[in-house]
Amino acid sequence: MRIGFHTDAFNSAYWSFEKCLQWASDNNVHFIECGLIDGVSWIHGLGYQPHVALYEDPALLRRKMDRYGVQFSQVDAAYPLSGEDGPMRGVPYVLKSIAWAAQAGSPCVDTTDGLHMPEGLTEAQSLSIMKRSYETIVEVAEAHQIIVNIEPHGHFTTKPEFMEQMLDFVASPWLRMNMDTGNTYIAGQDPVAFLKQFIGKVSHVHIKDVSASLAQAARGGQTGIAVSHCALGDGVNADNIKACLGLLHESGYAGVLSLECEGASGPMIEKSLAWIRSVCADLGIAAH
């Protein structure tokens, strides 16, 4: 397996993407995941956002990343596709992201649904909207040979019965799942059982722990965590993460474990990196 991180870790630090590349290089991490911005933002333009705009040339960016010894594991285009504006705003954004990812050397593009049930729609209507959207998205993904991942993060995707339907929207090897240990847990699911059900579809993994206080206040009432403020190994989800790593190892998973935790509040992400490396070593997982 390979270890990476999501640049969300440095949102609150107002880092630039290049500063994240430097952190990766300094900590011997060779895989990175970031959000994509479709348009111009002053905070990004001034270098205070650790994500990448689609107007940035992907080939030139790839060259810069090569100098740091870092490559993309995935780019995040997770605009919620479950609402009425999913086809109008989300689909064009994802389509642009797929073409950009192909040039930037990213094998995967991340997608998801909304945190809440869309107002004015039934579950069946929302699923129908998403099915049409993913049919369009996967057609383009196949042309570019980019994996489109569905991440458990919202009303539908954190429920196994709906995730199963969504992964069957299109019969294609290019439609797969991004497992998230923290989102499944905070949504009230058992991350180990969730992973076991879909392990054959997993192509990318988000690793995040959950603090005891957050679990007590929000478990079963939320469907996702923006960024975990708990170092890996310090929370109530640590044993689940270890079990998930064991399952991934048994299944022959050779993809990226992308760390998602706060990077600015002290050495939290460095502590998480050391923990994941230690656990992988204990489990006999070659992680680099």
DSSP state of 172: -
The CATH number of residue 230's host domain is 3.20.20.150
Q: Establish if 288 belongs to a structural domain.
A: no
Query: What's the pLDDT score for residue 217?
Result: 96
Q: Establish if 58 belongs to a structural domain.
A: yes
The average pLDDT across 34-41 equals: 96
SS3 108: strand
Q: Establish if 135 belongs to a structural domain.
A: yes
Q: Establish if 95 belongs to a structural domain.
A: yes
The average pLDDT across 221-245 equals: 96
Closest CA to 105 of 141, 65, 50: 65
Instruction: Please give the Cα distance from 55 to 207 (Å, whole number).
Output: 29
Instruction: Please give the Cα distance from 225 to 150 (Å, whole number).
Output: 16
Q: Establish if 14 belongs to a structural domain.
A: yes
Tell me the per-residue pLDDT of 108-119, one tens digit each, with 9 for 90 and over: 999 999 999 999
For the four alpha carbons of 202, 206, 209 and 211, in that order, the dihedral sign comes to negative
SS3 273: helix
How many other CB atoms are there within 10 angstroms of residue 89's CB atom?
Answer: 15
Q: Establish if 287 belongs to a structural domain.
A: no
The average pLDDT across 1-24 equals: 96
Residue 265 has pLDDT above 80, yes or no: no
To which residue do tokens 């392990």 refer? 199
Instruction: Please give the Cα distance from 247 to 15 (Å, whole number).
Output: 34
Mean pLDDT score of the chain, rounded to an integer? Answer: 97
Residues belonging to the chain = 288
Residue 49 has pLDDT above 90, yes or no: yes
For the four alpha carbons of 79, 182, 49 and 5, in that order, the dihedral sign comes to negative
The average pLDDT across 29-52 equals: 97
DSSP state of 87: I
Residue 266 has pLDDT above 80, yes or no: no
Instruction: Please give the Cα distance from 190 to 197 (Å, whole number).
Output: 11
Query: What's the pLDDT score for residue 140?
Result: 98
Tell me the per-residue pLDDT of 140-160, one tens digit each, with 9 for 90 and over: 999 999 999 999 999 999 999
Instruction: Please give the Cα distance from 141 to 143 (Å, whole number).
Output: 5
Q: Establish if 59 belongs to a structural domain.
A: yes
Q: Establish if 43 belongs to a structural domain.
A: yes
Number of domains in the chain: 1
**Containing domain of residue 159, as a range?**
2-282
Query: What's the pLDDT score for residue 264?
Result: 80
